Structure 1
Amino acid sequence: MKERYGTVIIMNLLGDPTGAAPALKPESIADPRILHAQALKSSRVDRSIFNNLITLYAKSNLLDSSLRVFKQIPSPNIVSWTSLISVHSSSPLSLTLFLSMLRCPILPNQRTLASLFKACVSLPRCLLFGLSLHALSFKLSLNAQPFSGSALVNFYSKYRLPIDARKVFDEMPERDEVCYAAVIVGLAQNSKPLESLSLFAAMKSSNVGSTMYSVSGALRAVADLAALEQCRMIHGHAVVTGFDKNVIVGSALVDGYGKSGLVSDARKVFDENIAVMNIVGWNALMAGYAQQGDSSSVIKLFQSMANVRFVPDEYSFLAALSGFYNAGLVGESEIWLKRMKLEYGIKPGLEHYTCLIGALGKAGRLEDAERIATTMPFNPDAAVWRSLLSSCAHHSAADMALRMARRLLELDPNDDSAYTIAANVLSVAGRWSEVADMRKLMKDRRVKKEVGKSWIEVKGEVHMFMAGDRKHERTEEIYEKLAELMESIEKLGYKPVWDEMLHEVGKGEKKEALWYHSEKLALAYGIVSGAAPAGKPMRIIKNLRICKDCHEAFKYISRAIDKEIIVRDVNRYHKFLNGSCTCGDIW
């Protein structure tokens, strides 16, 4: 459409004074060289024709020709320079051209800066250049203009500087839908889901229209929070605005419902949009099944891709391997990693090997898992050693756990999980002097344990709890309900799991500490507030791995209240019902 618009402009400019366009054949619409030839013959050639030709040549992937046209302009103006910089925004040439423009001297406008910020994002190691551009835009009072401002927000977001991106947005006096989309997407991509959703709500309150990018960005934030009700509300908004049939929004909806634990709704959205669904949507649905440990549905979907002529990519295999990992299927993990290389010619990445290592560790094949970690064609990262450390803890392999913790601390001496998990597995083995050494090392290095947090959504509002939290307005009711629950499950046979508690702590203190974990408080509040009507599951999100005692308690509580409880921790989904969990007590 833009190509045709530029062509029409040139045809109008080349036309006679009466407005009649020159006699051009239909094929000239698609070939800028014919228009260029007509321009050279015309007696009415001016700079605007050449400016448009620069863009048209670039649209036809004739970048060298666009540069030659620029050099034919006697006195290039800011539009000429901006056109040329824009078409070369994925090349270092754009930055060189900008410096040449300044020497003329010609100062940039907000569209010039927007193209340059885009170049800094697409090119490697351009953070400092982008910061210099920001300083220049500030001096020229262009930093808060819509075009340059939204591009600057995107620049900071891509460089993982969300605070700076938000500051730029806040300084903009006028914010259109593009500005809001840039900051909503940027915050969602930088693990700031609550801020992203807050700005989406502010955008709607300000009567600023949505775009497919702002809607998909909000859905990404919802996926990170696993906030089901928020996902449903944004889905309703997408239907009203007509974005629900857009492939980008459709894929984001599949991802949002899948990560919120409602794969049935993700599948429904997928089926409704299957005619336009791309590989991203297919992978999102497979990832949703994989997170539930439903490997059979992942494989069925993987095989169905061939029927619609989609070729699986590395993310398709990552979903399959994640499904096998969560289902504890070691043999399938090994087979599919080989298939990936031999049948599809895709080189496995570090994430694919991490899934295999995790599956081997879960199955108790700890030496095999360590051998893969040390012989794979990648340097193991923290996630690999952390996965092995967790597997050692599950199988009470204290010596190997200590070795894995040291490996992890070599990469990151401030990783609190290394100290905590190692101390727990050593305490189970009764090696109290080594537990003390580990905790002393943690104290000496001033490493703080990450605070456990749990979230529950009630009527579209997200409530957050920490261990021993007493800040909630309904604290008394929550603690009374929790005491009632714990007493009732003790009658059913529940016994506290002390494995992960310090041995110096008295039994009464241990019991109280276990009772008031964040996920138990969130569950008690969910019951008190009526978060889940009859027939609906209770949904809780945990930022860390659910502890053994909470896992055991939730199995009994699901029996006591006759309700399904769904917990998404940092590793996977746990579905508690009738006294059992879908993870098979391996997580």
Structure 2
Amino acid sequence: MPPSLAPLVHALAFKLALSSSPYSASCLITLYSRARSPSSARHLFDEIPVANRDPVCYSSTIVGLAQNGRYEESLSVFAVMRTNAVDSTMYALSGALCAAAGLAVLEQSCGIHAHAVVVGLDGNVAVGTALVDAYGKAGVVDDAAKVFEALGGDRNLITWNAVLSAHAQQGDVQAIIGLFNQMMELGFAPDGLTFLAVLTACSNAGAATEAEFWLEAMQLKYSVKPSLEHYTCVVGAMARVGRLEDAESVACTMPCKPDAAVWRTLLMGCVVHRKVDMAESMGQRLLEINPKDDSTYVMLANVYSAAGKKNEEAKAWTAMRDRGVRKEGGRSWIEVRGLVHVFVANERRHEQLLEIYDKVNELIQEVEKLGYKEADEGFREDSLSITSVSEKTMK
């Protein structure tokens, strides 16, 4: 059934007093999720009486929310399911792990893994593959590899792609190639995602020559047609090592139309290697796509500043202001005991602000004892001033 028919089917189910039935509600939740209407899916789930929610209801909601990028809600429903002592299914566990992977939260992934072991589903290939992906996204490749090895003969191409992607995030080209060869020896045929993982590793490692080799091999040896994402990886690998002219040539001659990600990758390379003229060209291409792209103005201003072109730097900031573009603040986050703490530049609102900056200053002093010096003197001054402000506020 086409997902677009979800509202019509829902109306009919409501008319027949079946919309709150676990079976029909689960089907409708899946339809809404596939129609990219996660809010409708969640609203329907909430309308089901708690006593009537069975494992299928929970599973379809958890998976649907995760697939639509509503990761926090997906994990929330999973937590409710466990609180209500509803049996976990492979779908609920893999959906929750998909959500944890999307948020890159390690502690949540470990908790779901432990629960999978308790209910005896840790050996299921779908759950295991989701675990490999979640650990990989959280940056713990060793744990991803352990889960991968434990799956043994149940591993499929999706599992192999997951472990390849985990290593790709770290730019571990040698490990990727070794796993690729193992996969081929076992008779698995690589697909586009396999080569995307290989090329991502090359891009993250700045292995431009290897990236060119694999781009050609996937076409001529394995008969896999490259997509825009594959070419973007090659452009990124070349830009990282300063081969900007070659990267631009790839971008301009590839069979698919370059998007903003391609030009932004080139612009970032220009900033790193201080190629002002090419940066201006890349910046113009990006602004043609999106005149409100704040990162483009910032990178152009940075490359002008690095080259000592103060007038051009001022013009970049002026153009940004005149067009009503505001710089989006940078963010970072850390997970502590299952709770994600989000920070922005010059953070002043966190409830543990004073303790955080005290610890920063303590670490800086310890580092200085080892003979290291700060690259940015302004950071120390800023942290001290914020600590002073916080102390005055507390008084």
TM-score, with length taken from structure 2 = 0.89
* Aligned position for 1:209: 87
Give the superposition deviation at 1:510: 9.5
Residues 294 and 326 in structure 2, CA contact (< 8 A), matched pair in contact too = yes
User: Which of 94, 107, 130 is the equivalent residue of 1:229?
Assistant: 107
1:334-483 to 2 correspondences below 5 Å = 334-483=212-361
- Letter matched to residue 436 of structure 1: A
User: C-alpha distance in 2, partners of 1:297/1:401?
Assistant: 34
Find the residue that maps to 1:454 and give its secondary structure. Answer: strand
Structure 1 or 2, whichever has the larger Rg, is 1
Residue 490 and residue 441 in structure 1: after superposition, are their counterparts in 2 closer, same or farther (change >3 A)? farther
RMSD, aligned CA? 2.4
| 1:250 paired residue among 122, 128, 132 | 128
1:386, 1:189 → 2: CA distance?
A: 27
* Higher mean C-alpha deviation, range 468-477 or range 244-253: 468-477
Q: CA deviation at 1:252?
A: 0.6
After superposition, give the CA deviation of every residue in 1:513-554 in whole Å (9 maximum; x if it has no partner): 8998xxxxxxxxxxxxxxxxxxxxxxxxxxxxxxxxxxxxxx
Cα distance change of structure 1 residues 508 and 231 upon mapping to structure 2, 3 Å threshold: closer
Is 1:512 paired with 2:382?
A: yes
Indicate whether 1:304 and 2:182 are aligned.
yes
Q: Distance in 2 between matches of 1:146 and 1:414?
A: 46
1:402 partner amino acid:
E
Instruction: Give the match's secondary structure for 1:392.
Output: helix
Contact kept? 2:6, 2:35, Cα under 8 Å: no
The DSSP-based 3-state class of the residue aligned with 1:380 is: coil
Q: Cα gap change, 1:515/1:185 in structure 2, threshold over 3 Å: closer, same or farther?
A: farther
CA distance in 2, matches of 1:177, 1:391: 49
* Equivalent pair of 2:361/2:380 in contact (CA under 8 Å): no
Structure 1 stretch displaced more, 299-308 or 189-198: 189-198
Q: Which residue of 1 aligns with 2:42?
A: 166
Q: Which amino acid aligns with 1:423?
A: A
The correspondence for 2:29, drawn from 147, 153, 157, is: 153
Which residue number corresponds to residue 362 of structure 2?
Answer: 484
**Match in the other structure for 2:389:** none
In the other structure, the counterpart of 2:137 is 259
Structure 2 residue aligned with 1:493, among 366, 372, 375? 372
Q: Distance in 2 between matches of 1:309 and 1:508?
A: 56
* Alignment-derived partner of residue 294 in structure 1: 172
Question: For the residues of structure 2 that align with 1:372 and 1:417, how far apart are their CA atoms?
Answer: 23
Change in 2 beyond 3 A, CA 1:300/1:405? same
**Deviates most, 411-420 or 217-226:** 411-420
| Greater relative contact order (Cα < 8 A, sep 6+) | 2
In 2: Cα distance, 1:390 partner to 1:511 partner: 29
Residue type matched to 2:373 in 1? Y
Matched letter for residue 426 of structure 1: Y
Task: Identify if the C-alpha distance between structure 1 residues 383 and 200 changes in structure 2 by more than 3 Å, giving closer, same or farther.
Answer: same
Deviation track 1:222-251 (CA, whole Å, cap 9, x = no partner) reads 222222222111111111111111111011
> Structure 2 unaligned runs (5+)?
387-395
User: Given the superposition, is the C-alpha separation of residues 509 and 358 from structure 1 closer, same or farther in structure 2, using an over 3 Å criterion?
Assistant: closer
Provide closer, same or farther for how the CA distance between residues 399 and 187 of structure 1 changes in structure 2, counting only shifts above 3 A. Answer: farther
Summarize the Cα distance change of 1:372–1:262 in structure 2 as closer, same or farther, 3 Å threshold: same
Residues 428-463 of structure 1, C-alpha deviations (whole Å, 9 max, x = no match):
223333333333333344434333222222233322
Which whole-Å CA distance do the structure 1 matches of 2:301 and 2:29 have between them? 43
Partner SS for 2:154: coil
Contact 1:486 1:515 survives alignment (8 Å): no
Count of equivalent residues: 383
Residue 276 of structure 1: aligned partner: 154
What's the CA shift for 1:286? 0.8
Q: What one-letter code is carried by the residue in structure 1 that aligns with 2:47?
A: E
Alignment partners' CA distance in 2, 1:160 and 1:439: 38
Structure 2 Cα separation of the partners of residues 333 and 140 of structure 1: 58
Which residue of structure 2 aligns with residue 185 of structure 1?
Answer: 63
Structure 1: how far apart are the matches of 2:299 and 2:60? 39
Percent identical across equivalent pairs? 51
Aligned partner of residue 275 in structure 1, secondary structure:
helix
* CA–CA distance in structure 1, aligned partners of residues 291 and 32 of structure 2: 28
Partner of 2:204: 326
Q: Match for 1:149: what amino acid? A: A
2:2 match: secondary structure: helix
1:218 deviates by 1.1
Matched, 1:220 2:102: no
Does 2:120 align with 1:120? no
Deviation at 1:155, TM superposition (A): 3.2
Higher helix share: 2
- Kept in 1: contact 2:287–2:296 (CA 8 A): yes
Gaps of 5+ in 1: 1-118, 122-126, 498-506, 517-587
Distance 2:238 2:22 in 1: 52
Distance across 2 between alignment mates of 1:302 and 1:421: 36
How far 1:140 sits from its partner (Å)?
A: 4.6
